[in-house]
A = this chain, B = another copy of it.
Amino acid sequence: MNIYSFICHVKPRDEHKIDQIFQATLLLVKQKGLAGITMSEIAGAAKIATGTLYIYFESKEKLINELFTQCRKSSVDIYFKDYESSQPFAVGLKRIWFNLLEFRMNHFKESVFMDQCYHSPYITETTKDLTKKMIQPLYKLVERGKAEKELKELDTFMLLIFMVSGINEYVKHSVYSEKKITKASMEDLYNLMWDGIKA
- Enumerate chain A interface residues (CB-CB to B < 8 A): 29-30, 32-36, 112, 115-116, 119-122, 152, 154-155, 157-159, 161-162, 164-166, 168-170, 173, 177, 185, 188-189, 192-198
Contacts and interface: CB of A to CB of B under 8 A. Distances in A.
A178 to B, nearest CB: 13
B158 A162 contact: no
A120 B122 CA distance: 16
Nearest to A194: B196
A112 B34 CA distance: 15
Contacts of A161: 166, 169-170, 173
The 3 closest A-B CB pairs, nearest first, are A196-B196, A36-B121, A165-B169
A192 B35 contact: no
Contact of A162 (B32, B115, B166, B177): B166
Contacts of A185: 155, 158
A13 to B, nearest CB: 15
Contact of A29 (B34, B119, B170, B193): B119
B33 A120 contact: yes
13 contacts: A35-B35, A35-B121, A36-B120, A36-B121, A112-B119, A154-B192, A155-B185, A158-B192, A162-B169, A165-B165, A165-B170, A195-B196, A195-B198
